[in-house]
Amino acid sequence: MNITINKVNYYYEWLSVYKPDRPTLVCLHGFTGTSQTFAPVFHKKNEMNILAIDLIGHGRTDCYVHPYRYQMECLCQDIAIVTERLGIIQFSLLGYSMGARVALGFACLFPQKVQQLILESGSPGLKSEDERMIRKRSDEHLASFIMSHSIETFVEKWENLALFASQKRLSSKIQETLRKERLSQQAFGLACSLWFMGTGVQPDFWDELYKIVAPTLLIVGDLDVKFQIIAQNMQERQPKVSIEIVEDAGHCIHLEKPEIFEEVVYTFLSSATNQSLGHR
């Protein structure tokens, strides 16, 4: 389904039968992904609506819009309006990788809207100006590569990054589905996401973690050492944050260990909801 927000056409999909009297979990995918990345995950009977949104420049959401619309704050404002238009005032929020950065930014900008926050392989950004400059140049180089090569060439390069090495163990069917999802993207949309919403240019949310009042869970794979360290550093800044390390999983836990991921998510949401009710 589609909805137009500030002249940007967003695609969204309910991954469960929508019932207005139930709480909602909003899911945000990663770079080169779409809302469909979460489709194989949520199968168990539950009492939540599952809403997935194609982020700007990805999937069936517009990409050929003013590049400034890709900025983190603009995107978060659009998500706020999308959910409000759908009649969802408060909700739980789940983001993976790039989507986790967006989810964290949203929770900092709109803390009153987020009931529970789940970040899968997420980061608050880079702490130092030097780190941000190095990453900004790296993202700009990759964006230029995307714009000057075929999408097939880029996907070949992207899926062979060390970050995704553990995905080589996925079944050939899942790998092919993932590859088709990546190949379906538009070069302009991916490039703009890097230029205007990449880790090197996004706001630094490290000093904003205290603003997050919602129960927060960080999910990381035990093979993804870099993001384990980031999660531990986040917990040091915000002790209320909890961490779940999934064994034998890399960066994309929801594809590598979907059943465990689903159980972790539902257990956390149920626990967080019960704690909230207990404090009323």
Q: What is the pTM of this model?
A: 0.96
Proportion of the chain above pLDDT 90, given as a percent = 91
Q: In a 3-state reduction of DSSP, which class is residue 116?
A: strand
| Average pLDDT of the chain to the nearest whole number | 95
For residues 237 and 146, what is the distance between their CA atoms, to the nearest angstrom?
A: 36
User: Would you place residue 277 in the very low, low, confident or very high pLDDT band (cuts 50, 70, 90)?
Assistant: very low
How is residue 81 written in tokens? 């309006």
Strands 8-14 and 49-53, bridge-based pairing: antiparallel
116 — phi, psi (to 5°)?
-140, 150
Say if CB 143 and CB 200 are below 8 A apart.
no
C-alpha 79: how far from its chain's center?
12
Query: What are residue 12's DSSP bridge partners?
Result: 53
Of 132 and 276, the one with more pLDDT: 132
Judging by beta carbons within 10 Å of its beta carbon (0-12, 13-18, 19+), is residue 30 exposed, middle or buried?
Answer: buried
> Looking at residues 225-236, what average pLDDT do you find?
97
| Edge-first strand listing for the sheet containing 49-53 | 2-5, 8-14, 49-53, 24-28, 91-96, 114-120, 216-221, 242-246
pLDDT in tens, 21-42: 999 999 999 999 999 999 999 8
Fill in the DSSP letter of residue 48: -
**For residue 145, pLDDT beyond 60:** yes
The dihedral formed by the CA atoms of 94, 99, 103 and 104, expressed in degrees to the nearest 10 = 120
Give the tokens for residue 91. 């909700």
Q: Say what the pLDDT of residue 272 is.
A: 73
Write the Ramachandran bin of 2: left for phi over 0, alpha for psi from -120 to 50, otherwise beta: beta
CATH topology of domain 2-128+203-277: Rossmann fold (3.40.50)
